[in-house]
Every structure is written in structure tokens, then in C-alpha cells.
Structure 1
């Protein structure tokens, strides 16, 4: 498992397997968010991952996001799950990038664009392409304080 921390309570990962959920539970994660749509490639489906998560006492939610532009409704679904389930949270997709993008967009208005992009880059995700959307979503935010999403 290659989990990458964005905040103390929120991490992202490339594709997980059912066995990884036992590792995630032992590492203290309480919620898993699946951002990779079923059938996108050769991966375990959401139902299989949810069952594996339940066996390890994890909350597992399926919030699929297609490659490309993340819609406002996909972002809202992600925020609803991430804000209302216990952390620490581990979100995953094929490479972790979509999950990192969802986190970044959820932080607009809570952190400055530079702080969001810097945090993602430190975790190994170059999200500079999101800068215009983050800027458009964020009024000027002073400082780099904690965001609302498990910050």
C-alpha cells in the first residue's frame, strides 16, 4: 500500500486490493473512499472492496470519478462523504491523482491555492493544472491554516 498523507486525517493512494484494507485498518484508517469507477480497468470492484472493508471494521464509500474534469456534483458527493465519516480517511483511484484532485478542490476557500498545490506536490501529485479552477473557487485566503476537510 502506497498511502500519501495530505493532512493528518486524509491520505490518498493508488489502486488498493482487498488485502490492503486490513493493512489500512491496522494503520488506523477508519474510512476508505473509492474514487475509481468499476470496470475502468482490471481492478477489484466496489462491492468486493466494500465487503473487505467491512470485515476490517472500515467505512467504505463508493464515489466514482471519471478521468478528466471533475464535475461539481462529483465534488459535492466526495465532500459529503469526507466530511461526515470518521477519519483518518484513505481515498484511492488508479494512481491517486483523482483522489488528490478531489481533496484539493474541497480545500478551495479554506486554504490558499499555493498551499493546496504545495501540499499535493509534497505527496507526489503535480496538480498545477487545477490552479485556474482553484483560484476561481477561492476568494483570497490569508495564510495556510487548516482546511475544513479533515485538516
Structure 2
């Protein structure tokens, strides 16, 4: 896992595994947002599996997929909801962290 801090409330990472969720908790993250659509790549963990482990550990988690169309208004709205509802710090993940960063930046602009 290669976690990059954007600011005190939000960091991003490439794809995480079910096993990584324990480390995410140990690192102090309170919430997770997944920006990767299921089935994007062979062998990619499904969101439901990651979410199940997060739930077991008491970490809030939300799926806000950003696919080939890029950051959509729906994705921005989903991220705004997460920012309003989730405890911090939040970890966003996708394949490389780029979509998680872009979606967060759009959501910040939307919130004003």
C-alpha cells in the first residue's frame, strides 16, 4: 500500500486488499472511500469484500466508483456526502490514487 497524504483529513492509495484494511485501521483512518469500479482488472478485490472487513473493524466505507467517463456529477455528490458524513481521517483508493485525488478535489470545489 502506497498511501499519500493530501491534507490532514484525506489521503489516497492505490487498490487495497481485505488484509490491508487492518493496516488502514492501525494507521488511524476512520473512514474509507473506494473510487474504483468492481471488475476493472482481473484479480481486483471486490468492494463488498473490502467493505465487509471495514464493517467488522468499525470503519465507515462508501463506494463512489469513477470509471472511464471520469469524475461524474454523481461521483462528486457521493464524495460530498462522504465528506459530510464520515469521520476523519479518510482514505480514498482506486487503482493508483489519481481518481481518488481528483474526486476529492472536485468535491471540495462543490462544497465551496
The TM-score with structure 2 as length reference comes to 0.91
Segments of 5+ residues of structure 1 without an aligned counterpart are 111-147
* 1:77-125 Cα shifts (integer Å, max 9, x gaps): 1111122111110010000100000111122277xxxxxxxxxxxxxxx
- C-alpha contact (below 8 Å) 2:32/2:90 kept by paired residues: yes
Greater mean alpha carbon deviation, residues 60-69 or residues 7-16: 60-69
Taking the aligned partners of 2:83 and 2:108, their CA distance within structure 1 comes to 12
Total equivalences in the alignment:
111
Q: Is the 8 Å Cα contact of residues 80 and 110 (structure 2) preserved in structure 1?
A: no
In 2 relative to 1, CA 51–109 (structure 1 residues): closer, same or farther, beyond 3 Å?
closer
For residue 39 of structure 1, report the CA deviation from its aligned partner: 0.7
Deviations 1:26-71 (A, max 9, x none): 1110101111011111211011001111222211111111034211
Residues 1-151 of structure 1 aligned to structure 2 (within 5 Å) = 1-41=1-41, 42-108=43-109
Give structure 2 stretches of 5+ with no counterpart.
none
Q: What value does the CA root-mean-square deviation take over the aligned residues?
A: 1.6
- Tell me the distance in 2 between the aligned counterparts of 1:109 and 1:85: 17
